[in-house]
Amino acid sequence: MKDLRKSTPVLLASLLASMAALASPQTGGHAQSIDKVNGSITAQAGQTYGGLSTVNGGIKLERGIHAKAVETVNGSIEATDDVSSDAVSTVNGSIRFGRQARIEGSVETVNGSIFIDRNSQVRGDISTVNGGIGIIGTALDGGIDTVNGDITVGADSRVKGGIKVEKPHGSFGSWFGKPKIPRIVIGPNAVVEGPLVFEREVKLYLHTSAKTGAISGAIAVRYDGTPPNKD
C-alpha cells in the first residue's frame, strides 16, 4: 500500500490535470463527460458518463449510473445504490456509496471519510489521511490505508489486501493537545486476508467470528455481539 503523505500532492496534481483536459461537457458519439471549476455535478439516474470532475464542488451520483473517473478537489462525492465507476477521488471531502457499488479502481480522499455499503465491490485500495473508513458487506480486492482515521471492516466484508495505519509525519503529525488514537474494528464474519500493520498506537477490536492475517504493532481485543463503546 502507498505512503499517503507522499501521494497527496500527486493526487491533487492528477485531479487538476484531468480536469484541465476536459474543457466542457462532451457527447459526439461518446459518453458525456462533465468538467467544472466551480460548481457541483449531479449525474442523472441510469445514464452512462465519461469523466466527472470539478475543482470546487460536490458530485452526486444517482441510482444506476456508470462513470469513468469521478474526481473533485474541494467537495464530497455521494452515490446512491447500484452505481459503478472506474475510480473515485477527492482531496477535501467525504466519499459515500450506497449498496451494490462497483468500483474498478481505488477510492481515495485526504481530508474526509469513506463509507461503502453492502453488496459492493472495490478492485483497488481504499485510503484516507484524515478521515474514517467504513465498509459493510463489501468485497475489497486491495487494502485499507490511513494515518489518522478510524477503520471499520463491517459484517461480512472481505479485504484481500491488508490494513495499514501509518505513523504521522510532518504537518500530518502536528497535534494540538492529546492525539486521537485510531479505533480499528473488524466485525462479525469479516475477513482480512492480508497483514494488519500498525505504525502507531491504535485500539484494535476483533470479533470472535472474524479472521485476519498477521497482526503487528497492536494487540487485538476480542469481542462478541456489538463492538465496544467508544472511549
Phi and psi at residue 61, to the nearest 5°: -115, 110
User: 121-174: per-residue pLDDT in tens?
Assistant: 999 999 999 999 999 999 999 999 999 999 999 999 999 999 999 999 765 444
pLDDT of 22 reads: 43
Residue ranges covered by each domain of the chain: 4-223
CA dist 158 and 189 (Å) reads 9
pLDDT of residue 122: 98
Torsion of CA 88, 83, 151, 132, to 10 degrees: 60
pLDDT of res. 21: 47
**CA 162 to CA 195: how far, in whole Å?**
5
Question: How far is Cα 231 from Cα 218, in angstroms, rounded to an integer?
Answer: 17
pLDDT digits (tens, 9 = 90+) for 63-99: 999 999 999 999 999 999 999 999 999 999 999 999 9
* pTM of the predicted structure, to 2 decimals: 0.86
Task: Give the integer Cα–Cα distance in Å for 88 and 85.
Answer: 7
Phi, psi of 15 (to 5 degrees): -65, -45
Is 213 in a helix, a strand, or coil? Answer: coil
Helix (H, G, I), strand (E, B) or coil at 21: coil
